[in-house]
Structure formats: structure tokens, C-alpha cells
Amino acid sequence: MSDKKNRKSKKKDSMAREIWEYVKLILIVVVVMTLLQKFVIINAEIPSESMEDNIMVGDRIFGNRLSYKKADPQRFDVVIFKFPDDEKQYFIKRVIGLPGETVDVIEGKIFIDGADAPLDDSFCKEEPLGIKDGHFEVPADSYFMLGDNRNRSRDSRFWNNPYVAKDKILAKASVRYWPLNRISLIQ
């Protein structure tokens, strides 16, 4: 009888150890994923058509939080940032104006620092129509952002606070991972 109890006890101990191993594994995965999400990557779903045709509504992307730890954002980088008018919201747009530059939007064309030729924005979905003109002087620690689909983008041209401070830029958009048939690097 005691032999039978011993086997049952060993079986229970073995099962408890196996369950504990699974629990440890799950905890490790949760901790690692939480740390990755907090310090290395950001996961975002695109809610609007402001970045079409490059990034479509419903696309899921990863952003690299480490991209700007040792380097500054560059013109044409696609970045994820805290919306200046409501920092609880995250936006994704393209960097157009760099710190200290002037940006003039004239009849849908972008001119940097009074240049004679407009900025090459051939990545834009369509010719901007009825676009809001304006003159913007980008502060030393900030950036001017535009969507690629300028006719449908609520961007720096329209915000109450038109500039994004460098410390509010969370990540450089890096990889589209959903939908599966459109997996690609973000350009």
C-alpha cells in the first residue's frame, strides 16, 4: 500500500514540477515581451489614410525605439510620435522639416529654407489639391511632419502645436508585418 502512495506522490510531484516549468516559461516570455515593447519596439495599427499608398489603413507595423538614441531623425523618415495636441494619441507621419529650418507650403509644394525648387515628394499618393498653404519656422528641438497622402492628412499644417519635439518621437517605423501579403520594410 505504501508503494502505491509513493508512486502517486511522485506522480503529483512530477506533474507539479512540469506545471511550474510551464508557468516559469510563460512568465519569462511575458517579461521579455513587456521589456521589448517598452524599450525596443513599438507595435502600431494604422487608423487613417494619411500615409497611403505607402502605409494603408489597417496595416500593422513595428517601430524601432532604438533608432534615435544615438542619431537624429532625418528628412523623409517615417516616425511614430506623441501627437502634440494630445500626447495620449500616437501618430505616424513623415519628417519633412528639420530643427531650425523654415518650411513653406505653396500651392501644395514644399520649399525648405527658401529654396527655388520644391522638395521631391514623389512618394506622395497624388498631387495635393486645395492644400493649406503656410509658412512654418521649425524650433531648434523639433520637427515638421506631413502625411504622404497630403489631401487626407491632418498633420503639422493643421495642428494647434505644429511641431513635434524630438523627445516626443517614440520610434522609426521599420517593418510592416500585417497583412502577410504586404510584409515589407517601411520606406
Q: Based on the residue annotation, tell me whether 9 is a catalytic residue of this protein.
A: no
Of the candidates 24, 48, 93, 125, the residue annotated as catalytic is 93
Q: Are 18 and 24 in contact (CB under 8 A)?
A: no
177 to 14, 39, 58, 180: CA distances (angstroms): 40, 19, 11, 6
- DSSP E strands, the chain: 41-45, 60-64, 78-82, 90-97, 102-106, 109-112, 134-137, 142-146, 163-165, 169-178, 184-185
2 carries an active-site annotation: no
Contact between 143 and 95 (Cβ < 8 Å): yes
Q: Are strands 60-64 and 163-165 parallel, antiparallel or unpaired?
A: unpaired
8, 11, 50, 70: the catalytic one is: 50
* Residues marked as catalytic: 50, 93
